[in-house]
Amino acid sequence: MPQPSWQKGWSAQLLAIMAGALGVGGFSPFDWWPLPLLSSALLYLLLHPLSPRQALWRGAAYGLGLFGAGTSWIYVSIHQFGAASVPLAGLLTLLFCIGMALLFVAPFAWCYAQLRQRCSGSTPLALVSFAVLWVLFEWSRSWLFTGFPWLIWGYSLIDTPLSSWAPVTGVFGLSLFVAGSGALLGEWVRSRRPRNSLLLGTGVWLCVLLASYPLANQAWTQRASQSLNVALVQPAIPQKMKWEEGFLQQSLQHLERLTGPHWDADIIVWPENAIAALQHRMLPYLEQLGQRARDTQTSLVSGIPIYQPDVSGQRVFYNGITSIGQGSGNYRKQQLVPFGEYVPLQSLLRGLIAFFDLPMSDFARGPGDQPLLRAGPHQLAPLICYEIVYPDLVARMGREADLLLTISNDTWFGASIGPHQHLQMARMRALENGRYLIRATNDGITAIIDPKGQLIAQLPQFEAGVLRGNVTPMRGITPFGSNGSWPLIVFLGFALLAAMLGSHRTGGPASDTISPPAIRAGRRD
Q: Which positions are annotated as active-site residues? A: 272, 333, 385
Q: H-helix or E-strand containing 302?
A: strand 299-309
Closest CA to 409 of 358, 444, 361, 458: 444
How far apart CA 99 and CA 104 sit, in angstroms, is 8
DSSP letter (8 states) at residue 509 = -
Q: Do 460 and 470 meet the contact criterion of CB atoms below 8 Å apart?
A: no
Torsion of CA 112, 116, 122, 125, to 10 degrees: -20
Q: Do 161 and 124 meet the contact criterion of CB atoms below 8 Å apart?
A: no
How far apart CA 177 and CA 423 sit, in angstroms, is 22
How far apart CA 359 and CA 352 sit, in angstroms, is 15
The b-or-e profile of 428-440 (16+ CB within 10 A means b, else e) is bbbbbbbbbbbbb
Q: Do 419 and 444 meet the contact criterion of CB atoms below 8 Å apart?
A: yes
Q: How many helices (H) and strands (E) would you count in the chain?
A: 19, 15
* Secondary structure (H, E, C), 87-141: HHHHHHHHHHHHHHHHHHHHHHHHHHHHHHHHCCCCHHHHHHHHHHHHHHHHHHC
Q: H-helix or E-strand containing 34?
A: helix 34-47
